[in-house]
Each structure stands twice: as C-alpha cells, then as structure tokens.
Chain A
C-alpha cells in the first residue's frame, strides 16, 4: 500500500514538475516574443516615422506633441518632393549607372572567376593571392589617386592637348561623365572570389566531358557553369545595384553636375540648398520615394540579398 501511495506521490511530483516546466517554458516563450517584438518595433520605428511624417502638412508636423497617426493625409508632399529634388533625373541617372555597371561587372567577374577556377597556367596562384591582398586596403586610399587618374586618363588629355585632338581630350577627361561612375568599380575582387568558390564546387568531370565533346570554354561557361552559379550571380547583381543606389562620396567628387548626379548626392544637395526652413514632411516624402525601390527589390529577392550579404560583410 505504502509503495503504491509513494508511487502516486512520486507520479504527482513528476506531473507537477512537468507542469512547472511547461509554465516556465511558456513564460520564457512569452518573454522571448515580448522582447523580440519590442526590438522589432524600435527597429521599424524610423520607417514608420518617415511614412507618417511624409503625409502630414507642415502645421501638423510642428505640433508640440507629434501625432502618431496623421490627422489629415496629404499626398501632395510627394509631388513636391519629386520636383524639389528633381528625383526623375536622379532616378534615371542612378538606374543607368546601376544597370550598365552591373552588366559589365558581371561579364568581367564571370570570366575572371572562370579562369581562376578552371584553367591552369603559370603564376595563377600568385596572381590570385595578389588579388585577394588588395581587398585589405580601404577604398579611401584609392580615391585620392583615382581622382587624378580620371581627370587625365592615361595621360590622354595631355596628349590630346599637345596634338590638338579634341577627341583625345574628351577621352582623357572623365569628370562629369557616367563613365567615371561606372568603370573604376567594375572589378570587384570579392565577387570574383565568391564566384570562383562557387565554380569550384561544380565537378571537374563535367568540364572534362565537355572538352572531349569539343565544347568551347565560352559555351561551357554559358551552358553549364552560369546556370549552376545563378544564385550567386543574382546576389552579386543585387549588391551591385544597391551599391549604385547608396554611393555618395565618389559621385560627389567626380560627377556633381545636374546631368550626372546620382540619387544619394542629389537628395543631400536638394535639402541643404533650400532657403528658409527645411520642410521636413516634404523631405521625408523624398526619402520615402528614394527608399521605395530598394524595399521592393528586397521584398521580392529577400533570399538572395540575405545570402549575398551574409557572405560579403560590405554594404553595397
């Protein structure tokens, strides 16, 4: 009897312990969600603030205690922002630079990565090591000289001046062109490295078989390797486009005229040269317009962006 009783007590204890454990687990889960939700709210608050402010009128924005939901929604700010910051031109400039530089950069990256992954030649390893070594140096160090380089590319401008050739001068003077925003950044050692690793995972037998069949390198690259490495290529594409969208200092230095100005720089200039008070709702509308394309890309290609970013550690 006593054994049975003892056993019952024991069982009850276990049940109690399990119940307690369940309570603890639920409590922990509740706590986790609470913490995460609070953090998430903090993280998205600036976006929320941007959106609500962008549809307020100036008087409402200036209320002593700001409203968390606009009393009256004014979409006119967006139209004004579009005109004030001349966003149309900025968008098309940025898009143009983004697309052209992405395409050219992809071609170069694919070919270079292919060579390092598949071909065999003297000095390959030394070459690759040298490439990787350049990754360590901060970009600011290049800016000083590149600024001089693009003013007189390969000395063509001086040469053109001496020969009296306008074409040579134009070829040597890259300032305030789209070229200057595209060409200096076409080769990214990091993307080459990324793609090469990806290519290396493709079994060598496929390549040998292709060679036996008499398939050319280019055809093999196009038909086999590129499709297999597509996710990496998409990541690279997106990061490169984001780079064009976010670049600030270089464009400001070398292409700061109306015709070639890119979006970040344009946004900054538009709202510092205004006289009188800065109209913050309009400014927020402009920021919202500028942020929208990146968000859309993110929504559709989340997977690739996050994959690419986790491996790169660089913004853009």
Chain B
C-alpha cells in the first residue's frame, strides 16, 4: 500500500514537473513583469508596451506620477519589450490568445498587421467626444481633443494616424524622428564646401570630394528602403496605395532613379547600410579623414545621433559634426520621411478600460512638458508645435552644438522642416513593400555593365520580382 502511494506521488510529481518548472523558472529568471497587487474597486489598469531605454523610462515614470495626480484610479503598468519588431511580434502573438496590452508603441505597418484581427480601436469617436471628465484635483477636461489641441500637433504627424485607406484615425503620434544629413563640418569649412540642398548639388559635391580625397566614400545612406521611398515622394512618383492596386512602384521614373543612383554607386559616390555589411554607415562617417573608407556625409535617422559622434577613446572629437536636411529633388517642395513611434489603443470589452487608456495616451501626446523632456532625453522630435516655445527646450536647442549637443541639434534641424514630412500608406503588405524595395536597392546598386551586362534589363527584372514578392506575401499571387 505504502509503495503504491509513493509511486502515485512520484507520477504526480513528474506530471507536474513542466508546470513547476514554468513557475520556478520565472522566479529564477527574473520573471515576467505582470505587475503587483490586485486592483481595488473602481481602479482600471492600463498595460503599455514600449521600447524605451532606462533614461526614457525614468522620464515616463515621472509623468505617470503627474498623470496619477489627475487620475489616481488609472494604474499604469508599462514594460519595455525589446525593440519595435519585438513589440510587434509579441503583440501579434498576444492578439491570437486575446491577451494584448491596452496601449503600445507602434508604426503604421504594425497597426495594419494588428487590424487583420480588428484589434486596434479607431479613435474618431474618442477624439470628437465632448464628454466632460472631472479630475482628482477638481479641474475638468473634455474626453475628446479640443480644436486647439489638434492644431498644436505638427500636421504631418497627426495625419499619420489616418494612413490606412479607410479614412479612420487609429493612432496618436508619440515622438518622431526623420532622416537628416550629417556632415563633417570641420572638413567642409576647411575646404570651403557647403552641404548639398539638392541631389544635383550632391552629385557635384561627390565629384569634388573624390578629387580632394580619392580614397574617400563621399556619403553613406543608412537605409536602402527609406532611400527608395523618399525618392518616390520627392519625385512625386507612385510607390504604394492603401486601396486598389496596392503596389505601384514599378514604373519608368522609379527605374530611372534607381539606374541613376546605380551609376553613382559605380563611381564610388556612396555606400549604403546593408551593402556595407553592418546595417549602418555611421561607422564609416565617424572615421577621421584618411582612415580607410571614411565618409564625409551620412544620411541617417535623427534618432541615432548618438552613433554619429566621432569620438576618440579619450573623449575628444575627431571633428565637428554639422547637420542639415537631406538633399531634395525640388527644394521648393521638400519631402522627408517621418519615422518614430505612435501610440495605438487596443479595443477591449470594457469601455472604461479603453477610456482610461485614451486619457493616458492623450496625456502623453498633448502634455508640452512631457513632450519637451522626452525629446531632450531621446533626441527624437516632439510632436507638438508649442514645444518649441517651451523655455527650457528652446534654450537647450539654442545652445546645441556639433559635438556633445548633437542629439539636440538633430531635433532642431528636424523641427525646422516640419512642412516636409510624409508617411507612406499602411496596409496589410506595406511592410513587405518596404522590405522589398530595400532589397531591390541592395541588389540593383552594385550592378555594373562590365560584370552584369545589360544593367537596365536587370533592374527591370528586379522591379518585377519585387512586385511579385509583395503580391505573393499579400496573398494576391
């Protein structure tokens, strides 16, 4: 009898082992942040996924305290989930099991993916709501956005919420970045050069730089995908559409600019991130002149300014960095990409949860102090016009220089081109289009007539192939 009991116990233990390890591993491995304490009556919890590093989380925590002074019953639980792709994959999985967060950092492509499952809450009703809410300090606010608040958003950033082809608004902009041109100011000044404003000037400049320093690579462009899409915008040629024929980028004009940059590439005018083998060209830019393979200019994200600092090991700078807008086709109608996270709210059965999430999202995106402090810490642009008038922010921007102050300097340049931002349409398949045009550039640029024969035909085939793969992935092929 005793033996029987023992063996039964043993079997139960073995059966329970997986579950036991599940819990014990979590304890040992630091566990998952599932918050602490149960909710009290009347409290609502908002789970927020983002990609903020430690410095930004400190800023966020500070303003959550501010927010809780107004809404003590809304408990904010936030969590850094790796990078943007990790957030997307995590949420996609969670949607399939119905356990998605309330609020998340997002790119338009992510929202399009979540909406395959109709998981994102359209914001139009909330924005236009006139419901009046009384806050804990006795003051009131309308649930929706006032016209003044809407007007304060930088137009292009606000418009990004409605790029989904159905006219609905799905996101609020959180903090933005763009591409800027970093250049070696020390070298430019010494040689009487000015940074290019158009691609034609860029061409002349590249020639000149190669004369001055035959071993250099005049400029680096980090993202092949952005390069392609931005050229489409600048030229006004079709790229994609959220309705109808989705993938429109295979046309003569686009093939022509790819061919043009291919010939530049062949002449050694530039290098791109993936082609350089390390995803970013900032490594080439931060080399001092005469170090092998150095670039004098680099077109990269304004959010990555920290990586563009040409610092020596002892903390001194190899040269001073200048920042300006990227070259344009037509300077009177400039186009630069708008990147960086927006906020999307997930639909929940409980309307109180959605409303609480909205209040918090609205707080983050419309609070000038928060936007200013967040921007100063991250180097990303604030999404509100009025942040420019924020006294501390304005003073900091004024003092920014091309060395330690590089992050702020990028924000300054980025803010000055507020009229130029664009966002591409987002739909199920838009991220594939982005990947495919990036891959297209990656394959087209290194083509040479000497090695590959009929380059034009090869480029044509690459375009056709990219379209095919976009359609295939979207299930249209």
Direct contact of A and B (CB under 8 A): yes
CB contact list, A256-272 vs B, under 8 A: 256-257, 259-260, 272
| A218–B7 touching, CB < 8 Å | yes
Hey, what's the 0/1 contact readout for B275-318 against A, CB within 8 Å counting as 1?
00111101110100000000000000000000100000000000
A104–B29 touching, CB < 8 Å: no
Nearest Cβ distance between residue A284 and chain B, in whole angstroms? 17
State whether the Cβ of A277 lies closer than 8 Å to any Cβ in chain B: yes
Binds A, one of B95-103, B249-257, B356-364, B464-472: B95-103
Of residues 1 through 33 on chain B, the ones whose CB sits less than 8 Å from some CB of chain A are 3, 6-7, 10, 14, 17-19, 21-23, 25-26, 28-30, 32
Name A183's contact: one of B14, B21, B277, B278 (CB within 8 Å).
B21
Let me know if B28 and A166 touch, CB within 8 A.
Answer: no
Per-residue contact bits, chain A 263-300, to B (CB 8 Å; 1 contact, 0 not): 00000000011111110000000000000000000000
- The answer to whether A78 has its CB under 8 Å from any CB of chain B is no
Beyond A170-B23, A173-B32: 11 further Cβ-contacts under 8 Å?
A157-B99, A158-B99, A161-B97, A179-B18, A179-B21, A179-B22, A186-B18, A257-B82, A273-B279, A275-B282, A276-B284
- B residues at A contact (CB < 8 Å): 3, 6-7, 10, 14, 17-19, 21-23, 25-26, 28-30, 32, 34-35, 82, 86, 90, 93-94, 96-99, 277-280, 282-284, 286, 307
Residues of B contacting A182 in the complex (Cβ-Cβ under 8 angstroms): 21, 25
Contacts of B14 in A (CB 8 A): 107-108, 111
Known: A171-B23, A275-B280. A178 touches B97 (CB 8 A): no
What count of chain A residues pass the 8 Å CB interface test? 42
B278 touches A277 (CB 8 A): yes
Chain B residues in 8 Å Cβ range of A245? none
Asked if A151 contacts B93 (CB within 8 A), the reply is yes
Chain B residues near A177: list those with CB within 8 A: 22, 25-26, 29, 32
Cβ B283 vs Cβ A276 within 8 A? yes
Q: B residues within 8 A CB of A259?
A: 29-30
B278 touches A161 (CB 8 A): no
Residue of A nearest to B23 (CB): A171
Instruction: Tell whether, in the assembled complex, residue B82 and residue A256 are in contact, meaning their CB atoms are under 8 Å apart.
Output: yes
Establish whether residues A100 and B21, one from each chain, have CB atoms under 8 Å apart when the complex forms.
Answer: yes
A to B CB contacts below 8 Å, 23 in the list: A100-B21, A151-B97, A152-B99, A157-B99, A161-B99, A166-B34, A173-B99, A176-B32, A177-B29, A179-B25, A182-B21, A183-B21, A186-B18, A217-B7, A218-B6, A256-B82, A259-B29, A260-B29, A272-B279, A275-B280, A276-B284, A277-B278, A277-B283
